[in-house]
Amino acid sequence: MGNTQRENFYRLFMVPGLGHCGGGPGANLVFRSELATAVPLDPNRDMLTALEEWVERGRAPSSFVASRLNREGAVERTRLVCAYPNVAKYRGMGDVDSADSWTCSSEPAPHPRPGPIARSSKK
């Protein structure tokens, strides 16, 4: 089966900082709920609405915006999440905590080079 056929019914979204069963240090909300009313019911912000758009209207998501709420329930961070194999890449300017500062890219993210850890010579 080719990529085009697969993409008709399957998309993978890897959400950095989202724990397996929820929570985590990143933008960890992908849909609106009674505990996350600040997340809009929009297919670009709510994965359940995006799924509904895909199944009922044939509009498959290629990206969406995950959110993180503060203690008061307001959105404090948004992050662009892209359909695999694409990844979110910082545009190089703007607030890193805003999804608007990111774009989906087919370029892989840079990985740290293996090697010794640099240590300060100060004592």
Instruction: Give the DSSP letter of residue 7.
Output: H
Q: Rounded to whole angstroms, how far apart are CA atoms 60 and 73?
A: 29
User: Mean pLDDT over residues 80-98, rounded?
Assistant: 93
> Who wins on pLDDT, 20 or 97?
97
Chain mean pLDDT for the chain: 85
Asked if residues 7 and 1 have their Cβ atoms less than 8 Å apart, the reply is no
Please report which confidence band the pLDDT of residue 113 belongs to, taking 50, 70 and 90 as the band edges. low
User: Mean pLDDT over residues 97-102, rounded?
Assistant: 95
pLDDT number for residue 112? 55
